[in-house]
Amino acid sequence: MIRPKVLALLGLTVLCSFSSQASPNIQVGFSPEGSAQALVLSTINHAQKSINLSGYNFSAADIASALSRAAKRGVEVKLILDEKSNRNRYSQAAMNLVVNAGGSVRTTDNYKIHHDKVIIVDDKTVETGSFNFTKAAEYTNSENVVVMQDLPDVAKVYLSHWRSRWDTGTNWQSTY
pLDDT recorded at residue 6:
35
Q: Which residues of the chain have pLDDT under 70?
A: 1-21
Query: Given 114, 116, 122, 124, which residue is catalytic?
Result: 122
Cis check for the bond before 32: say yes or no (omega within 30 of 0). Answer: yes
The model's pTM: 0.87
Across the beta sheet with 104-108, the strand order is 25-31, 143-149, 125-129, 118-121, 50-55, 76-82, 104-108, 170-171
pLDDT recorded at residue 20:
46
For the stretch 22-50, pLDDT in tens is 789 999 999 999 999 999 999 999 999 99
CA dist., res. 102 & res. 9, Å (int): 38
Query: Given 46, 62, 84, 115, which residue is catalytic?
Result: 115
Give catalytic status of residue 117 as yes or no.
Answer: yes
Output the CA angle 170-174-176, nearest 5 degrees. 160
Query: Going by C-beta distance under 8 Å and a sequence separation of 6 or more, which residues neighbour residue 70?
Result: 44, 45, 47, 51, 77, 103
pLDDT recorded at residue 17:
39
pLDDT recorded at residue 21:
53
Give catalytic status of residue 167 as yes or no.
Answer: no
CATH, range 37-171: 3.30.870.10
Query: Given 78, 114, 116, 117, which residue is catalytic?
Result: 117
Domain ranges within the chain, ordered by starting residue: 37-171
Query: Going by C-beta distance under 8 Å and a sequence separation of 6 or more, which residues neighbour residue 128?
Result: 117, 118, 119, 145, 146, 148, 158
Give catalytic status of residue 84 as yes or no.
Answer: no
pLDDT recorded at residue 176:
86
